[in-house]
Amino acid sequence: MIQTTDGIILRKQNLRETSVILTLFTKDFGKMQGVMKGARGPKAAMGNNPEMFSLNNVVFYERKRGNLNSISQCDLKDFFDPIRSDLERTVYADYFLELVDAVMMEGDTSEDIYNLLLNSLKFISKPVSPKRVARIFEIKLMEMSGFLPELNNCILCNKEVEGDGNFSLRSGGILCRACEAEDKSGVRLSKGTINFIERVRKSSFEMVSRLKVSQDVGKELELFLRKFVDYHLQRPLKTVEFLKKINL
């Protein structure tokens, strides 16, 4: 069956001399893979060479689950030029792609996550801090994919956490001061950081994208979210390792 949808390219792998395998996150079909013939080489059609984190209108022949789809058209809608001219923005865009690719399985659909990825790419195309957008993206993605737990109450005793708390990766939630000795490897979260996470998870992207974050909260968020993401994915992401090397 021939299908048409908008999709963002997450991965691109060369196949033979003229073809590519594309992994996309699409608006209507979620994460999917497909072979696109004639996308490389001297005979490739003009403008028909799909690139990473570009937004495209995709026409494909839908195969049975487990088989690669056949992509006949991949028409560019947005190349996000301002991102590509800046190393920091490019690396963070690649990070968004890698994180969505790692969290979502083939065939998983979520229009919310599709819109989050698209809005995040549009936003870091503007003169804003890509690091701040990354923190918002991580919180929203973890919330939408069901990984982010409640942070207002202790995971062990269910009492309200009124001030700072320790987040236990092992227990999967925040610990109050009375219970924090149960996991001494917990990640410290100040009340300001907890409040910021709660505001992000409960607000629209348009609203939270305008939020400012203090330097202290930003550093604490980055430490917590990187540990949280690594713990759930059970492997470090290549883009995170690169960000560390170039101190971004």
For 127, residues 6+ apart whose C-beta sits below 8 A from its C-beta are none
**pTM, two decimal places:** 0.92
Query: Which part of the chain has CATH 1.20.1440.120?
Result: 81-248
The proportion of the chain whose per-residue pLDDT surpasses 70, expressed as a percent, equals: 96
Cα distances from 196 to residues 116, 162, 200, in angstroms, run 18, 15, 6
Class of domain 81-248: mainly alpha
Per-residue confidence (pLDDT) for residue 246, from 0 to 100: 80
Sign of CA dihedral 201, 202, 203, 204: positive
Structural tokens at position 240: 């995170």
Query: Which part of the chain has CATH 2.40.50.140?
Result: 1-79
| Beta strands at 165-168 and 69-78: parallel, antiparallel or unpaired | unpaired
pLDDT tens for 173-223 read 999 989 999 998 889 999 999 999 999 998 999 898 888 888 899 999 999
Q: Which fold has domain 1-79?
A: OB fold (Dihydrolipoamide Acetyltransferase, E2P) (2.40.50)
